[in-house]
Structure 1
Amino acid sequence: MTVMELSNLSVTLRRRDVIRDVSLSVGKGEFIGLIGPNGAGKTTLMRAALGLIPFVGNSSLAAMPLAERAMAVAWMPQQREIAWPVTVETLVMLGRTPHVGALASPTDHDRSQVDAAIRWMGLDDMRQRAATRLSGGEQARVLIARALAQDTPFVMADEPVAGLDPAHQISTMQTFARLAEQGKSSLVSLHDLGLAARHCTRLVLMSEGRLIADGCPAHVLTPERLAEVFGISAWYQDTEQGPVCQPLEVIR
């Protein structure tokens, strides 16, 4: 089963080609790390795939009516602005909006989905606190919980672990890995190659708007590609605990 199909997708912004002829398929139960240097086009690719910006080519998600799209994919953008001082529980409940009618009240099922998302992100002791009074890392966890509460077969997240401490970075990646075990799919942009190698089932490497490599971490994170795309040397090793990738030094 395919949850997203991109075909020959290109994006031009301010007369500059930002995405160039990218084709990508996401299957059921995949946890895909979208990696690449700053300016590679990762955020633009995800926004185009969702139909949030104009593009040329085809996106199965962008072709859906808005209501159907909201049931198919949850989106967590990089910008983490929380505008109103609502409680954490209320904010996470907003993830249930596609499932709750305009004039309807949340059902017991809606509440159970919210409770599960709050527990997954370790927010039980914060559920009645104002979300605007939390730290940046705590707010990031709340917004991830909101996306999880949406209970879609596919989640797209733009740098969801940025600003989190190491423990919550790992637990967040483990959350996406557990979703994959349950048959749900995730496409997550990352800068931390170690987290990407350790937790993702598949990596997609981009550079200058193009797809450079697509496959398992060992296939993508080769010394030659790391040198060409990132300008670094790195140590990569498959261990009993999983793959390890540690950048070592800049080589250009």
Structure 2
Amino acid sequence: MSLLSVSKLNVARRGRDILKDVSLEIGTGEVVGLIGPNGAGKTTLMRAALGLIDGEGHSNLAAMTARERARAVAWLPQARELAWPVDVETVVTLGRLPHLAMGQRPRDEDAAAIEQALEDMSLSDMRKRTVTRLSGGEQARVLIARTLAQQTPLVVTDEPIAGLDPAHQIATMKIFEGLAHRGKAVLVSLHDLGLAVRHCTRLVLLCDGEIKADGPADQVLCASNLSAHFGITAHFETGPEGPVFQPLEVLE
């Protein structure tokens, strides 16, 4: 079943084309890695698909009401600002707002979702700590937990593992895999191609506002695409423990 359907999406800013005729489908059971160099249009694609910025074309999510969209997709942007001195559990609880009526207190199912999100992001022992006193990586984990607590069929997240230590980067990607195994889907933008290769079911390469490749990692990250769109060489092999990708050199 399709959870995200984008067709012929175009976005222009200040007379410059940012997205050009982009079409994309994401179905249940997928972890789709959105990759590409800086300035490729990845964040713009996510925001336009969510209806957060104007564009020409169609997105099933942008066509929804705000409340419908909040129950269909959880959005975790790249910016991570936690300005209010509230505790971790309070921030994670905000993920349940789309499921509650105005003024309604969290129910048992909400408490269960919050508890699971805290556990998934290794935050159970930090629930009463003030978020403004946490490190940047810890704050990132809190915001990911808030996104997980929303329990939507689709998660769209922009560079969620930036700033996390390696253990939490891997753990977060495995959580996304787990969501896909339970019939949900994730669209995640990544610069770490090694993690993208290991944990995404499919990669979408965006460059100059256009989708240049869409498919399995070994096809998308072929030598010609790495050269043309990233300007690098890399080593890519699949061994007993799965695929391994390592950038090697910058091309002159």
- TM-score, scaled relative to structure 2: 0.99
For 2:99, what is the secondary structure of its paired residue? coil
Which residue type is aligned with residue 238 of structure 1?
T
Q: CA deviation at 1:128?
A: 0.5
Q: CA deviation at 1:240?
A: 2.0
Can you give the 5+ residue segments of structure 2 that lack an aligned partner in the other structure? none
Corresponding residue for 2:123?
123
Which residue type is aligned with residue 92 of structure 1?
V
Corresponding residue for 2:47?
47
Corresponding residue for 2:170?
170
User: Residue 117 of structure 1 contacts residue 146 of structure 1 at CA under 8 Å; is this kept in 2?
Assistant: yes
Corresponding residue for 1:244?
244
**Structure 1 segments of 4 or more deviating over 3 A?**
none
Q: CA deviation at 1:17?
A: 0.3
Corresponding residue for 2:138?
138
CA RMSD of aligned residues (A): 0.6
Report how many aligned residue pairs link the two structures.
252
Aligned counterparts of 1:206 and 1:166: Cα–Cα separation in 2: 25
Aligned counterparts of 1:143 and 1:81: Cα–Cα separation in 2: 9
Q: For residues 178-193 of structure 1, what are the structure 2 equivalents within 5 Å?
A: 178-193=178-193
Corresponding residue for 2:11?
11
Corresponding residue for 2:202?
202
Aligned counterparts of 1:7 and 1:94: Cα–Cα separation in 2: 31
Aligned counterparts of 2:100 and 2:131: Cα–Cα separation in 1: 22
Q: CA deviation at 1:227?
A: 0.6
Can you give the 5+ residue segments of structure 1 that lack an aligned partner in the other structure? none
CA shift digits 1:180-233 (9 cap, x unpaired): 111110000000010000110000001010000000111111011001100000
Is 235-244 or 142-151 further displaced after alignment? 235-244
- TM-score, scaled relative to structure 1: 0.99
User: Residue 217 of structure 1 contacts residue 243 of structure 1 at CA under 8 Å; is this kept in 2?
Assistant: no
For 2:98, what is the secondary structure of its paired residue? coil
Aligned counterparts of 2:212 and 2:98: Cα–Cα separation in 1: 35
Which residue type is aligned with residue 66 of structure 2?
L
For 1:97, what is the secondary structure of its paired residue? helix
